[in-house]
Structure 1
Amino acid sequence: MHTTFSITFLFLLQMSVVSSDAPVNCVWGPWSSWSPCNACTKTQTQFRSVAVYPQFQGYLCSGDSKRTQACQTTQGCPLEEGCGNRFRCQSGKCVSQILVCNGDHDCEDGSDEWKCDSQYVCEFQRPPPKIEATGNGYDMAKKEFRASVINTQLFGGQCRKIFSGDHQNFYRLPQSVVGYSFEVSASNDLSSEFYESSWHYMKNIDTKEETTGTTYGHYRYTHNEDLKKIQSKQLVEISSTVEVARVQNQVPQYLPISEVFWSSLYSLPVVYDYAAYRQVLEKFGTHYVSEGTLGGQFTAMLYFSRDYIESKKRTAWDFKKCVTETHTLFFFIRWTTTRCKTDFDDIIKTSKTDDVLNLKRGDVFGGDTAYSPTLTILDGNKAAENWNAFSKWAGSVKNLPVLLNFKTRPLYELVKEVSCSEVKKIYLKRATEAYLRETDTCHCSPCRNNALSVLKNGVCVCVCKLGTEGPACESGTPVNEQPGVIDGSWSCWSEWSSCSGGRHRRTRSCSRPVPQNGKNCIGNAEETQNCDDEQQLQYLRKFQPHCFDPSLEPTKSCRSPPSLFNGFILDPKDFYSIGSKIEYSCIDGHHLVGNPIAECTEKETWRKSSMECKRTSCVPPVLPMGVFPNQWSFTYKIGASVLLQCADGRKRIGVEEIRCNSGLSWSPDPINTKCVTEETTPTQVHCQPWEKQAQDKCVCKNPYQCEPSLEVCVNSTQRIWHGIKSVCKVRAQQCLGQHHIVADHSACQWPESVTAACPQCSLWTTCDDETKTCHCKSLDECIPSSRWINICVRLTKDSEISTVTECEVGVRRCRGETPQILKLQACEE
C-alpha cells in the first residue's frame, strides 16, 4: 500500500467572479427542436444551452436545461427484437448460448442462470475490490462521474486470476481489465509544495493534467462556495493519498459495455439530432476511464489572512521549516520546537476568536466512513485522536477504495453492439465536441491584470495573481510584473468549415484580451483536419444504406460470433459482412486446439469447427494464510519454481520451494507450510542526554526533564540578559528552537562554594567514607563518556582548543582550574 503525504501552503489571494459595471445575469439560449420520438419510452426531448454565463455576482439561470414530452410513433422498439439462436437478457441484449448456465452473470440481471444447474467455469468468482468504479462514465465538462458504461462484472467465459498479498486472497479479473496490480508498500513521508498565489495553484493543476493526461478528481478543486470564504487568504492544504491498486482497462474493441448504456445506444436515432445525443452525454458523461489508481484521499484546508501572517512576522519558509525540519503535521503530531509550538498554539487560539483564520471542513474519499467524523472536523487539541483516526482510515482503504487519479478516452469509442453503430459513433463524437464547446472557459469575459478566468459550476470566476484583488482582479499590480502589461488569451474556436478538397478548417483569435506589451497567445490561430468523419459517412452510405434510408433492407451480415471459454476473437468488429472471417485466440496459459478460423455464411450464421482452449501452464498456487511467493504471475510455465516467503518478523516452517510439474500442479504440496512469529530484539535507539526516546525515535526533552549537568553562564541571543543554566537544559532549549550564547564565566553571579558533607556531594565530587566529607572526583570517573555531553573548551590559557566532556570540565573546576568554555558542542575539526 503506497501512502503519500503532502502539506502545501497555498497563498490564495482572491478568486472572484468576472468584473463588470453591473452584474451579468445568466441567459438561456433557444430551445432545440424536439428529438425524434423514442420508440421504447414513447417520449421526445428538447434541450437548451447557456448563451451568457453569469458574471460579477449575476443571477444563475432558473429553470431546467431539458424538458420531455410524450409522443407517438409507428416504429417498433428495437430492444424488443429477437436474438435468433442467442440468449436474450431481460434488457434485450443478446449473449452467446455457450455462456448460459456457466455460473457467471453474463446478463447483468443474472437471467442467463435462472433456469439451469450452473457448472462453474472458474473456481474464483469475486472481482477485485471496487472494480466497478472503473466502469463509470466521466463528464469532462462538469468534472463528475456519471452512470455505468463498462460492465465490470462480466468475465466473458475467461478465468484470469490475481492474488493480493495484502488481502491474502485470490480475485478473478473481469473481461474489462487487461492489467491489475495491488500496491503493497507503505510510506509516511512528509512533503511540502508552495504556491505564490491561487493563480499559480490553478495553473499548476491545469498544466499537470494537460502534460500527463491524468485527471485528479473533483476533490482537487475548490468549489465556488469555498472561493468566497478564502478571498485574500493564505492557505495550508493538508492532504494524504493512499494508493492500493492500479488498473488498466482493455482497448475499446474488447471492452464489454453495460446494458444500460447499450440500451441508450440502441435507442439513438440514426440521424444526427443533438438533443437525443446530448441526452446520452448528460447521463453517461463524455469519456470513460482507460486506466487509473484505486485508493483513498483525505484533504483539509487551514486558511488565514496575509495581514495575520505579517503581524506575526512569519513567512512561508518559517512554516515550511516547522514541517520539513521537525516532521510535524498540523492537527496530527505535536510540534517539537518551541517556535513551531508557539505558532501552532496561536493558530488554534486565533481560530476560535478571530475571523482572520478558519478551518475548512475536511473531505474524506474512500475508506471506512466510521472514521469520517473525526477527520472532517479536526480538533487541534486532539492530535493523538486525529492521528489514530487517520491511521485506521488509511488501513481501511484497501477494502473500500475509490477511483483517484485516472486517464480517460472519449465515450464515443464505445459505441458498438448496436445496429448502425459506426454511424452513431460519428454522431456521438459530433455531439461530444458541441457539448464540450458549451462549457469552455473561452465563453468568459477576460479578467484583468493577467488573472486566470475559470468556468466553474456554471459561473465565470477570476483567479487573481499575487498583489491584485477586486471582482475582476482590477486593483493593484501583480508582484514582479510591470503595470499595464496585458497578456493575450484565445477566443473560442469557430465551427468547422465545410469540407473542401477533403479537409476543413476552424479559426480563433488572440482577443480575450488582445495583448498589450505582454505575451502573445501560444499556439495556432487556425487548425485544419481531414474530413475523416464525412468520408466515413460516405463509405457507410454505400455499404450500409439502410442506416440512411429506413425503407431499405439491411445489408446481410452476421451477428456477434460465438464465445470461446478462455478465448477471445482477434480484432473484433461490430459489423460482419457475408464471407468475412474471424480468428480466435486463447488467454495466457492456454493453447488453442482446432481450427481457429470461423466464417460468416450466406445464411447469416457462423461456420466454425470444434475448437478448445486448453491450459498449458500452472495457475498461481493456493498458499496457506501468511505465506506468499517471491514472484506473482497470471500463469507459470512447466518447470517454473517459486520460493515461499513470510512477512518481516516471521519465519517459514515447511517447504521452501515449489515447482510447476507436467501435470500442471505444484509439487511438493505447500499445504503444510506456515509462517510463525520470530522473536526479535527491539531496535536500540541511542538518544543524546537532552533527548528522550519516543517509540523508535529521539525527540527533544523539556528542560525540566534533564538530568543534573554542568552549569554554565549563557546570554540570550539578543544579549539582553545572562544567567546560569545547565548544559543539558541549554541543549534541550536549542532542540526546541530557543538559542543561547555562551558567556564568560565571570559574567554571571555564581553562589559561594562551600565544602559539603556527605551525603550532599555535588555532581563533580564523591564521598570519602572515612572523613565523611566530599572531595573532587578523578578524571577516570568521567568514563563512560556517552553519559556526558561533549563541549568545546580551552583547558588553559596557552593550550589548544579541544573537545572534552562536561564531566571533565566540572572535575577541573572542582580542583580550582579555570577552563574556558567556547561552545556547548564538539569543536569543529
Structure 2
Amino acid sequence: MSCMHVDCRWGSYGEWSECDGCSRTKVRTRHVEVYAQFGGAPCSGEATQHTAMCLKERMSPGNRLQSLVCNGDQDCEDGLDERNCDGDNSQYSCDLNKTPPNSGVTGRGYNVLTGKLRAGVINTLSFGGQCRKVFSGDHQDSYRLPQNILRYNFEVTVENEDSDESYDSSWSYMQHIQANALVGHDRRSFHKELTDNKNKVELAQFQNSAPQYLTLAEGFWKALSSLPYTYDYSAYRQLFERYGTHYLSEGKLGGEYQGLLELDRQALDSTRNKVNNMPIKVKVFGGDTALTGALTLLDLDNPEANGENYDNWASSVKDFPEVIDMKLRPLYELVKEVQCAGLKKVHLKRALEEYLSEEHPCHCGPCQNNGKPLLTGSECHCACRPGTSGHACEQGAVIGEQPGVIDGSWTCWSSWGTCIGSKKTRTRRCENPAPRNGQHCIGEWSEVKPCEDPDIRYLQTMEPQCFDLPVTPPKTCGAPPNLRNGYIENPRDFYLVGNTVQYSCIDGYYLIGGAVAQCTETQKWRTESPVCKSATCGFPLLNSDIIATPIEAAYQIGHRVSLSCPAGSVLYAEEVSEIMCSPSLQWSPSPASAHCKAGPTPPPGLKCKPWENLCARLGSSRTRELSLCQLGALRCLGRSFELATDCDGPQELSLSCEDCKPGTVCQESKCVSERVRLPDRLRPLCTKTSDDSVAKTMTECEVGARRCANEQVHVVGIEACPE
C-alpha cells in the first residue's frame, strides 16, 4: 500500500501588532495550515513578518533599582546606577565582585520546542546589595553570588563509565525517550539494536531564587514593557522566539556526552564483514567544540584512542561548562516591574499554551500500523514499530500483533466555544485515527472553564487603568527600599497603603533596628533604619605558601582554622599554627607572621627503627624524645622540629627539683629530660580502606601515617581483626 505525499501549506497572516518600543517594528504571524507528511515538502519562509521602522517612545527603567544607586555594584547592566557617585567606598556592599565561572548562563531563557538556550531573562550581574560568597576548592578562590542565585555548590563529579542502555529497535528507543529523536531517520530496516551511552562531568550545582526575588535582565524588561495591553498573539509569540518559553530554576554546570550507536543485525549477519570504524550519532553539551569531532567516530581496533578523545573533551569542560540536568519554570512567572504586569502575565500564559500547541503531533495525519507521529517545525514524521517501515509505516506488519488492529488517537483541541451560563467549552475527537479492535483514546474529550478569568476579575480592581475602566485605582507604594545584605520576606506585586513588609538578613548577618516597613498614606515607605551587620570572619589573609584547614567563604565566631605548610617545609612561627574567629570578627592570633621555611633533613647515620624513640629539638632549645608516630603527627600539623643525634638516655640538668623547666621531670631530686616511651607492643586496630574492602589489621602508627597521606582508612575495631 502506497501513501500520497503531503506538502506543507501556510495559512494567512494575522493582523499587524502594535509598534514595539524596543525594536520599533510591527509584527504579524501566520500558522501552518497543512503540515508536510509522508515525504512531502516542508514550508519555506518564516512564521513571522516584520514591518519597517515605526515610531514609539522607548521604555526607560525609571526608578526600578533606585535603592541600589551608589552601592559599588553595577546593578543596572548599563552602569547608570553608579554614575556620578562621589567615590566614597564606605557605602560599598562588598569587597568582591567576581562571580562564579560562567554563572551568567543561569539567567538565560530556554525554548522547550527547540531545546536551546535563548537570550538572558535574569540579570546575573546584579547583587541586590548582598555580599554572599562561595569558595571553590578546585579553583582555590572565592566568588560572589549574584542576587539571582540562591544556592551554588562547587562539587565536581565525573561519570566516566558508560551507562549503556540497549534497545531492540528504533521504536523502543523512541518510546523510552518520548521525544522526536528519529527525525530524518529514513532507513528501511528496523532489525536494529541501539545503544545509548551517556557520560557527564559536573562542576557545580545551582538553584535560582523564587521569581519575586529575581532581577530582570534589561533587554527582557524592555521587551515586557513593550507588550500590548490587549491580547495579540503575534507580539507575545515574538517574545518566546527571542527569550524562550521557560527560565532555569535550577541545574548543573558541566558537560554531557550522549552517543547513539545503531547496529543493523540483519546487514551484519548477511555480509559478515568486519567493521573497524563505526560512525556514532552524538550530542555534546559543554567542552571545547574543537574536540567534539573526534567523538563522532568509534575506532573498534583502538579503544585507547577512543578513551583519549573522551578524556581530552572531559578535561576541557571546566573551561567551557554548559547547563545540564536543568529544571524549568514558565517564563510568564517573571512578568513584573512593568505597567499592567498582572494583565500581561495572563496574556503571556495564554500565548504560551497557543505557542506550544503549534508543534503538537495532533496536527499530523495518522501513521499506519500504529506508528507514532512526530512533529518538528512544519514537518511530520512517522516512527514505525518493529517489522514495519516506509514514510507512513505502510510496509510490513507489526511483529507479534494481529493485523488490522488500530489504536485510537486524539485530534487537536477545538477553539473555545461561546459562553453559555458563564462557562465555555472546547472539545476533541478520538479519530486521528479512530480505534479499530485496538485501544481507545485516554483522557477527557471536553474541557470547561469560566468565561471570566478570576485573575482578570482581580486585576480589574488592582489595575483598572489597564482595562480603560472609569475606576480610580487604589493607592499603592512602589517597591520597598532595598536592605543591604538583607531581603524582604514574601514580596508582592502590589503594596496597598497600610501594607507592611518584614526584613530579614542573609546568612552570616544579624539585624539591627526595626524589621518592619509600612506603606503610608503619602504612598511612601516608613522604615526604622534597619541595618544588617556581619557576624562572620572572612577568609584569613595568609602568605601564599600557608595551607588553611578547613576552607570556607565565611567563618562563625569561635570557629578555628589550622595552619600548615606543604610537604618538605614547616611553619616558622609555631604560636600561630591555629587561629580563631574572635567576637571582634578578627582572627586571633593574627596570621600575618605565619610563613613556611624549608624542613630539616635527618642527620646522616641516624638509624632508628619505627618502634624506637627519636631525639628532637622543638622550637629553639627544647629537646625531647618522641616516637616516630609523634614526629609524623607533628609534621602533618606543620610543626617545626629538628632531629638531633641519638639520645642515650635521660640527661642531668640540675641538682635540684625546685626549678624544673617544661620538658623535664624530677627524678631522684634532680631535673632530667622527660622520656616518652612507647608501649612494648604497638596497639593493633582492625581497619578498612573502603566500605567493600576486606578488614585488615594495622598499628596505630600505620593508620596515622596513611591518614596523614590523605588515604581513607576507617577503624572498625580497637582490637586486631579476627582471623
Band of TM-score, shorter chain: 0.7 to 0.9
* Superposed displacement of residue 40, structure 1: 5.5
Q: Residues 650 and 384 (structure 1 numbering): CA distance in 2 closer, same or farther, change over 3 Å?
A: farther
Q: Residues 131 and 651 (structure 1 numbering): CA distance in 2 closer, same or farther, change over 3 Å?
A: farther
**Aligned match of 1:279:** 238
* Superposed displacement of residue 414, structure 1: 0.4
**Aligned match of 1:428:** 348
**Aligned match of 2:524:** 605
Distance 1:415 1:652 in 2: 58
**Aligned match of 1:590:** 509
Q: How does 1:88-487 map to 2 (within 5 A)?
A: 94-97=64-67, 99-116=68-85, 117=87, 119=89, 120-206=92-178, 222=181, 224-225=183-184, 227-228=185-186, 232=190, 234-311=193-270, 346-348=274-276, 359-360=279-280, 362-376=282-296, 383-487=303-407
Distance 2:373 2:569 in 1: 60
Matched, 1:541 2:460: yes
Matched, 1:517 2:437: yes
Q: Residues 409 and 362 (structure 1 numbering): CA distance in 2 closer, same or farther, change over 3 Å?
A: closer
* Structure 2 segments unaligned to the other structure (5+ residues): 600-723
When structure 1 is superposed on structure 2, of 119-128 and 145-154 the one drifting more is 119-128
Higher relative contact order (CA 8 A, sep 6+): 1
**Aligned match of 2:43:** 61
Letter in 2 for 1:167: H
* Superposed displacement of residue 242, structure 1: 1.3
Q: Kindly indicate whether the alpha-carbon contact (under 8 Å) linking 1:241 and 1:298 is maintained by their aligned counterparts in 2.
A: yes
* Superposed displacement of residue 674, structure 1: 8.1
Q: Kindly indicate whether the alpha-carbon contact (under 8 Å) linking 1:23 and 1:56 is maintained by their aligned counterparts in 2.
A: yes
Q: Residues 380 and 306 (structure 1 numbering): CA distance in 2 closer, same or farther, change over 3 Å?
A: closer
Q: Kindly indicate whether the alpha-carbon contact (under 8 Å) linking 2:546 and 2:563 is maintained by their aligned counterparts in 1.
A: no
Does the residue aligned with 2:284 lie in a helix, a strand or coil? strand
* Superposed displacement of residue 252, structure 1: 1.0
Distance 1:598 1:424 in 2: 29
Q: Kindly indicate whether the alpha-carbon contact (under 8 Å) linking 1:301 and 1:359 is maintained by their aligned counterparts in 2.
A: no
Q: Kindly indicate whether the alpha-carbon contact (under 8 Å) linking 1:155 and 1:175 is maintained by their aligned counterparts in 2.
A: yes
Letter in 1 for 2:69: V
* Superposed displacement of residue 80, structure 1: 4.5
TM-score (ref. length: structure 2): 0.74
Letter in 2 for 1:437: S
Letter in 2 for 1:134: T
Distance 2:584 2:419 in 1: 64
Query: Deviation string for 1:776-822 (max 9, x for gaps)?
Result: xxxxxxxxxxxxxxxxxxxxxxxxxxxxxxxxxxxxxxxxxxxxxxx
* Structure 1 segments unaligned to the other structure (5+ residues): 1-18, 87-93, 207-219, 314-342, 352-357, 678-829
* Superposed displacement of residue 45, structure 1: 1.5
Q: Residues 236 and 264 (structure 1 numbering): CA distance in 2 closer, same or farther, change over 3 Å?
A: same
* Superposed displacement of residue 620, structure 1: 5.6
* Superposed displacement of residue 404, structure 1: 1.3
Query: Deviation string for 1:275-320 (max 9, x for gaps)?
Result: 211111221111111111111123444434332233378xxxxxxx
Q: Residues 290 and 548 (structure 1 numbering): CA distance in 2 closer, same or farther, change over 3 Å?
A: same
Query: Deviation string for 1:57-102 (max 9, x for gaps)?
Result: 21121222111224766xx626158x3xx4xxxxxxx3124x2233
Q: Residues 628 and 498 (structure 1 numbering): CA distance in 2 closer, same or farther, change over 3 Å?
A: farther
Distance 1:384 1:115 in 2: 61
* Superposed displacement of residue 579, structure 1: 3.0
Letter in 2 for 1:447: C
Distance 1:586 1:111 in 2: 27
Distance 1:631 1:507 in 2: 61
Matched, 1:616 2:588: no
* Superposed displacement of residue 556, structure 1: 4.0
Does the residue aligned with 2:225 lie in a helix, a strand or coil? helix
Query: Deviation string for 1:676-708 (max 9, x for gaps)?
Result: 99xxxxxxxxxxxxxxxxxxxxxxxxxxxxxxx
Does the residue aligned with 2:294 lie in a helix, a strand or coil? helix
Q: Kindly indicate whether the alpha-carbon contact (under 8 Å) linking 1:505 and 1:529 is maintained by their aligned counterparts in 2.
A: yes
Letter in 1 for 2:524: T
Q: Residues 651 and 455 (structure 1 numbering): CA distance in 2 closer, same or farther, change over 3 Å?
A: farther
Distance 2:223 2:183 in 1: 33
Distance 1:185 1:675 in 2: 35
Letter in 2 for 1:228: D
Distance 1:625 1:77 in 2: 59
When structure 1 is superposed on structure 2, of 662-671 and 22-31 the one drifting more is 662-671
Does the residue aligned with 1:573 lie in a helix, a strand or coil? coil
Q: Residues 459 and 115 (structure 1 numbering): CA distance in 2 closer, same or farther, change over 3 Å?
A: same
Q: Residues 21 and 479 (structure 1 numbering): CA distance in 2 closer, same or farther, change over 3 Å?
A: closer
Q: Kindly indicate whether the alpha-carbon contact (under 8 Å) linking 1:569 and 1:583 is maintained by their aligned counterparts in 2.
A: yes
Does the residue aligned with 1:184 lie in a helix, a strand or coil? strand
Letter in 1 for 2:492: K
Q: Residues 221 and 72 (structure 1 numbering): CA distance in 2 closer, same or farther, change over 3 Å?
A: closer
Distance 2:164 2:433 in 1: 35
Distance 2:234 2:520 in 1: 39
* Superposed displacement of residue 600, structure 1: 2.5
Distance 1:201 1:402 in 2: 26
Q: Residues 620 and 473 (structure 1 numbering): CA distance in 2 closer, same or farther, change over 3 Å?
A: farther
**Aligned match of 1:639:** 558
**Aligned match of 2:478:** 559
Letter in 2 for 1:461: H
Letter in 2 for 1:177: I
Q: Kindly indicate whether the alpha-carbon contact (under 8 Å) linking 2:369 and 2:385 is maintained by their aligned counterparts in 1.
A: yes
* Superposed displacement of residue 262, structure 1: 0.3
Q: Residues 153 and 278 (structure 1 numbering): CA distance in 2 closer, same or farther, change over 3 Å?
A: same
Query: Deviation string for 1:15-67 (max 9, x for gaps)?
Result: xxxx9732111111221111123355543211111121110121121222111
Distance 1:300 1:422 in 2: 45
Distance 1:59 1:650 in 2: 73
Letter in 1 for 2:211: P
Q: Kindly indicate whether the alpha-carbon contact (under 8 Å) linking 1:137 and 1:289 is maintained by their aligned counterparts in 2.
A: yes
Distance 2:54 2:158 in 1: 61
Identity percentage over the alignment? Answer: 44
Does the residue aligned with 1:224 lie in a helix, a strand or coil? coil
Matched, 1:48 2:30: yes
Q: Residues 71 and 505 (structure 1 numbering): CA distance in 2 closer, same or farther, change over 3 Å?
A: same
**Aligned match of 2:697:** none
RMSD over aligned Cα atoms: 3.5
TM-score (ref. length: structure 1): 0.65
Q: How does 1:747-762 map to 2 (within 5 A)?
A: none
Distance 1:481 1:630 in 2: 64
